[in-house]
Amino acid sequence: MKRNYPFALAISLFIYSATAHSEAILHAFNWPYQLVEARAEHIAEAGYKKVLVAPAMKSSGTEWWARYQPQDLRVIDSPLGNKQDFQAMIAALGQHGVAVYADVVLNHMANESGLRDDLNYPSAQVLEHYAQNQEAFEQQTLFGQLSQHLFSSMDFHPEGCITQWHDPGHVQYWRLCGGEGDVGLPDLDPNQWVVEQQRAYLSALKVMGVKGFRVDAVKHMSMYHINQVFTDAIREGMHIFGEVITSGGAGDQSYEAFLLPYLQQTTHSAYDFPLFSQIRRAFSFQGSLTQLHHPESVGQALDKHRAITFTITHDIPTNDGFRYQIMDPTDEALAYAYILGKDGGSPLIYSDELSAGEDKDNGRWQGVWKQPAMKAMLRFHNAMHGKPMTVIGSTQCLLLFKRDQAGIVAINKCDEPQSYTMDTREYPLNWYRPYYDVLSDATTTIASDFHTITIPARSAQMYMH
């Protein structure tokens, strides 16, 4: 009998990859590396399999946004930690089976126009600091020689701010600028030298043990730049995803101009902004949960193998222009039950460590990662890996679906209890075996063809054996 081992291996690797990429990611936003290390055991016990951490590079300033203004890619040195802290964090998480994903900034360098006129990165002042502390910075070096600048004026696009936000050429060639008079973030040109340095940077992080990359500001990078940097060798064994903000899915101008080309011309995953837009509409006062019945089938959600699902990103609470997207706390919790209960996508759970001066929401997201309800939903999510999803029914108030015969998810967004009678012949479930709700410890046992469950107002139930 002929055994096709390569084919069987390919199938098993695909199944492993699909499962691995559906595991929940904790976005430890603005957490010091030592804090992530200290919480490693608790992170694993909570049910997370991946942790996305702050950009690992040379940056200065205590503000959260300063982490996204690189001064040097060759060195890990910021207020959140250095290379030793980063390596110790990887090791500690690895001991508990948790992988590290790195946030990487490849589009631009820091706006230092208030300090100097040149475009040499790092600055002469930083190079002098390296020289005066040579032994210490040798330990923080990822690659290259720190006696010379990494980039010069020849490595950047001409100065000029983005003004035509629907034009990919303008968005990808000109600078991200702030208020009036701001000259913006120097935008890197994908010449051979820049590409080689960025490849070296990603390769060095990979050697340290990083298992995934979030590509910051990827909307502002050309497809040529992205595909030149992310070689086959760098992509191998890595989970890579970018943030391309859109107002919706198929038919939306921003989706067609930016996210669709990114998905078509790379193998990366992406933030599922189409689904997020659909979630916000569904949970709005006049919205209906029928909008979450099969959003992927109408182009309002990404393919489940490439989607990074979420209910909030770090940009939403920290940038005034996005704060209108913050959901009601109860709706956000119900939306988490949806993305952690459904099949497909890698759920991204945002939990920040912002300073008191930067936190505009009084610590609302600081402890989300360890809340009892979140840990319960993660337990359900992890138990349902690989189990197909079937939507049983949906109304304006209610969404009900099952995960094979192992789990049932029911979400009620309205202010009154909702009941639904399931046809357990049409939608098979296990009889005479109690299902328990991980969110309340309530139980339900199916013993007839038609089984009714009642979901209290503004709540979710996630039943499993």
Q: What is the DSSP letter of 186?
A: P
Query: Rounded CA gap, 437 and 423, in Å?
Result: 20
Residue in 308, 302, 322, 289 with CA at minimum distance from that of residue 350:
308
| Close Cβ partners of 245 (under 8 Å, ≥ 6 residues apart) | 219, 254, 271, 273, 315
* Packing angle, helices 192-208 and 83-95, rounded to 10: 50
* Packing angle, helices 273-283 and 329-341, rounded to 10: 130
Phi, psi for residue 177 in degrees, rounded to 5: -120, 160
Q: Alpha carbon 114 to chain centroid distance?
A: 32
Query: Rounded CA gap, 69 and 184, in Å?
Result: 11
In 413-455, where do the E strands start and end?
A: 418-423, 435-437, 443-444, 450-455
Residue in 426, 423, 429 with CA at minimum distance from that of residue 445:
429
CA atoms within 13 A on the CB side of 237: 8
* Packing angle, helices 329-341 and 372-383, rounded to 10: 20
- Residues labelled as active-site residues: 216, 243
Query: Rounded CA gap, 341 and 333, in Å?
Result: 12
Produce one character per residue of 303-322: b if its CB has 16 or more CB atoms within 10 Å, e if not: ebebbbbbbbbbebbbeeee
Contact predicate 458/330, CB 8 Å:
yes
Query: Rounded CA gap, 338 and 293, in Å?
Result: 11
| Close Cβ partners of 35 (under 8 Å, ≥ 6 residues apart) | 28, 353
Query: Rounded CA gap, 222 and 16, in Å?
Result: 31
Query: Rounded CA gap, 338 and 272, in Å?
Result: 14
